[in-house]
Structure 1
Amino acid sequence: MDFFKWVSSILLLLSMLSISSSNPTGPPQIGFDFLTSAKKPEIVEKMVDWRRRLHENPELGFEEFETSKLIRKELDEMGIPYKHPIAVTGIVGFIGSGGPPFVAIRADMDALPMQEGVEWEHKSKIPGKMHACGHDAHVAMLLGAAKLLQEQRENLQGTVVLLFQPAEEGGGGAQKMIEAGVLENVKAIFGLHVSTDVAAGMVASRPGPVMAGSGFFEAVISGKGGHAAIPQHTIDPILAASNVIVSLQHLVSREADPLDSQVVTVAKFQGGGAFNVIPDSVTIGGTFRAFSKESFLQLKQRIEEVIIGQAAVQRCSATVNFNAKERPFFPVTMNNEDLHRHFRNVAGDLLGPHNIREIPPLMGAEDFAFYTDVIPGCYFFLGMKNESHGPLESAHSPYFTINEDVLPYGAALHASLAMRYLLESHPSPQSIEGKAHDEL
């Protein structure tokens, strides 16, 4: 190794670790400093403004053109380089040295096709569209983290990758981002979601599977229609569909290990339009979920077999469509053990260890799973509940609201998780010194 490069490396690492010499706790001070900065009125006001502007102008998956424009304008003002468009409307920003190691932090951008029911100054201006899942807050917090990290860019020995992702709500936006190469050289990724069930100032997560893998299915069961008064001349698809639905429930109650949580739900049943006419066909549809790839694929296989087999018992035919192109299967959201430990350390130092909750796996699905299916990741929930403010409606409700007091916490956690990951990914100055001495 060139002597001067070796000296430069040592000095840069010492500058990264200089916080340890001024504060015995070292890395924990990073989170404290980020949170202090994130709570400054000028940064809070910016995050609140970003979030409210996004809330007023919600856009659905792969249609987030104005959302993308706002993000790019703010990144330009911060002096943060980025790539766009990625997966139609997505953006990938870069802060730091431009070299390895690379760590990613992600926010989803899309809204839902819902009419907002909350009457307030910044209500959605777009009829039939609403940020009812907190993605407006997610973008605001990631922009806040970008501002915090950009101010520390000289101390980042490595690169933080900012992922502003489209189409989380069923569109598989994460999968499209991955196909576009956003995870190239990235070694770890962190993501968060606001939660109405966790108290403000607290976070919740768990190691291993945190959210289920999920898929959708639709089946058309065909028979022979006719008059309800002479059913013997018909082949009744409604009766066949009813038997199919009952049999599908047995897949969980009688074929799955009781300790291996699975769900099969039929939520769609369409057929017939008259009281006295048996229709030619019936359409049913639903979702299935599991916490392992093996269980998920087994459910998929058995759902198709049961639908076709039970329809045949009633003399009907059936076709099954899993709509994988329109609604991609979501893998299990899996938290890497080491990254979850890193999350607990960072969140504990920033919020206090008593403000970290470990939760059981959730049957909901999240397309962050596409990232954790490729590289190690950690996904956690940021609490918003504040009893003094009254109850919060759950996500995907037309009355969903955001407790904006938590925006600084999300920004500081994003920034702290990324910066400390880079810091801890580098060897200590002592180990570099020993290696360099050997080479000299």
Structure 2
Amino acid sequence: MAFSKQVPLLLLLFFVASSTGSGSEPESARFLRRAKDPEFLEWMVGIRRRIHENPELGYEEFETSRLIRSELDLMGIRYEHPIAVTGVKAFVGSGNPPFVALRADMDALAMQESVEWEHKSKVPGKMHACGHDGHVAALLGAAKILQENHDELKGTAVLLFQPAEEGGGGAKKMIEAGAVKGIDAIFGFHLATDVAVGAVACRPGPIMAGSGFFEAVISGKGGHAAIPQHTIDPILAASNVIVSLQHLVSREADPLDSQVVTIAKFQGGGAFNVIPDSVIIGGTFRAFSKESFNQLKQRIEEVIVGQASVQRCSATVDFLTEEHPFFPVTVNSKTLHDRFEKVAGEMLGPKNVRERTPLMGAEDFSFFSDAVPETYYYFVGMANETEGPLHPGHSPHFKINENALPYGAALQASLAVSYLSGVSSSSTPPAKEVARDEL
């Protein structure tokens, strides 16, 4: 009898524990629900389309920057501008340590858009062909979510709107301007055409290659094509150079150490029957380690100069670092990867958090690795099988699935909140702590 009298009480306690305990909605899921709200999504889509219609190249993102600052003003978010010409640095939270940064790139590409739609680029020869307009819209979405929950932030989220990712080294300029001073960790993402919408992909360690560019002038002696014995043919020399450069990967690199050398530029001559005095070749090289990258750089110059001399020509090599600084390898923190898997898994389900094979593409987000204790870069899917395959970035046919924007916004906001909460509750202080006026 004593046991039977306790049964109702035990059931009541079980019911209370079940309704208030582990069954509560994760914060990340709440943020995603907010970002998917039709009015919220319409606002992000509107921002993205305004930016898409008015694309601006690296360090020319004046109107894009103006739009961002206008939206931050409406949200009541404090910011600093200009940083690295057009960049914006905004703050949400207590203004005190720890500090976690979220980054979005702003620049477009110099190409003519071939997608016919209502919000096509209005600027001839310029197009958002890599999704940066979506990155900005999603980060503003994250800003809105964070601002709506700013009283809950156990530290400060720093929002970095960065210029000139497309070869201009905008991240490097932001660092030089002090934009990440005192930052403990930074997250960035890219919209991905080969990952399903509603899924994300990443990995710890190297995720994107280091890259550099080069250009070479190969000089000989021009003349009439009918009497080649009186010339020193730079086109023949350049052709031999290009073939020899391919051997750097196929015969000098470890097959398990991914590397790329690509010649994408060949200029010279203007007539069918005239051998020119000189030609220009140029291209890019990629690797996943500093040692391999430096070895490629050294051998590229040696092969171009040496092979040209075999053909009686001279050659000069320029690695174009003034216009296109070398991009380091993008490397993800193992600690942040564990946090990413947990947060993304709670939001999307573990099956939608996928491992990403390293890419030979490069990202100037990599510059943050030397300036910030922990960095993390991931991919937000936007592919939809029912709508057919998407064209890859840097294509005039590129377009994004705007339904991916809520995932980018909610995940960035969730990662910031999770990181700040984790550091604040840890007995170990952040790697760097500075006062608000030093940030």
CA apart distance, 1:420: 0.2
RMSD of aligned alpha carbons:
1.8
CA distance in 1 between counterparts of 2:127 and 2:203 reads 30
CA apart distance, 1:22: 8.5
- The 5-angstrom pairing of residues 93-108 of structure 1 reads 93-108=90-105
CA distance in 2 between counterparts of 1:236 and 1:355 reads 56
Structure-2 residue corresponding to 1:7: none
Is the 8 Å Cα contact of residues 262 and 289 (structure 1) preserved in structure 2?
A: yes
CA apart distance, 1:92: 0.2
- The 5-angstrom pairing of residues 363-402 of structure 1 reads 363-375=360-372, 376-402=374-400
CA distance in 1 between counterparts of 2:126 and 2:242 reads 33
2:332 to 327, 331, 335: 335
1:241 to 238, 243, 252: 238
CA distance in 1 between counterparts of 2:53 and 2:257 reads 42
- The 5-angstrom pairing of residues 143-162 of structure 1 reads 143-162=140-159
CA apart distance, 1:232: 2.4
- Deviation per CA, 1:59-115: give whole Å up to 9, x if none: 111111111111101101111100000011100000111111100001111111122
3-state SS, counterpart of residue 316 of structure 2: strand
- Deviation per CA, 1:130-180: give whole Å up to 9, x if none: 111111111110000000001111111111000001111111111111111
Q: Does residue 86 in structure 1 map to residue 100 in structure 2? A: no
CA distance in 2 between counterparts of 1:417 and 1:26 reads 21
3-state SS, counterpart of residue 118 of structure 2: coil
- The 5-angstrom pairing of residues 96-245 of structure 1 reads 96-245=93-242
Q: 1:144 to 1:307 in 2, by over 3 A?
A: same
Amino acid at match of 1:258: P
Structure-2 residue corresponding to 1:410: 408
Structure-1 residue corresponding to 2:347: 350
Structure-1 residue corresponding to 2:288: 291
Structure-2 residue corresponding to 1:263: 260
Q: 1:66 to 1:199 in 2, by over 3 A?
A: same
Structure-1 residue corresponding to 2:6: none
Amino acid at match of 1:388: T
Query: Any gaps of 5 or more consecutive residues in structure 1?
Result: 1-19, 432-440
Amino acid at match of 2:275: I
CA apart distance, 1:339: 0.8
Q: Does residue 321 in structure 1 map to residue 318 in structure 2? A: yes
3-state SS, counterpart of residue 368 of structure 1: helix
CA distance in 1 between counterparts of 2:186 and 2:74 reads 25
Please identify runs of 4+ aligned residues in structure 1 that moved more than 3 A: 20-28
Query: Any gaps of 5 or more consecutive residues in structure 2?
Result: 1-16, 430-439
3-state SS, counterpart of residue 186 of structure 1: coil
Structure-2 residue corresponding to 1:45: 42
Q: 1:319 to 1:39 in 2, by over 3 A?
A: same
CA apart distance, 1:29: 1.3
- Deviation per CA, 1:373-411: give whole Å up to 9, x if none: 332211111110111223222111222112111111111
Comparing 35-44 and 133-142, the one that deviates more: 35-44
Is the 8 Å Cα contact of residues 334 and 373 (structure 1) preserved in structure 2?
A: no
Amino acid at match of 1:382: V
| Count of aligned residue pairs for this structure pair | 411
- The 5-angstrom pairing of residues 271-310 of structure 1 reads 271-310=268-307
Q: 1:21 to 1:58 in 2, by over 3 A?
A: farther
3-state SS, counterpart of residue 160 of structure 2: strand
Amino acid at match of 1:367: D
Comparing 295-304 and 275-284, the one that deviates more: 275-284
CA distance in 2 between counterparts of 1:72 and 1:23 reads 41
CA distance in 2 between counterparts of 1:23 and 1:46 reads 34
Amino acid at match of 1:366: E
CA apart distance, 1:118: 1.6
Q: What's the % identity of the aligned pairs? A: 73
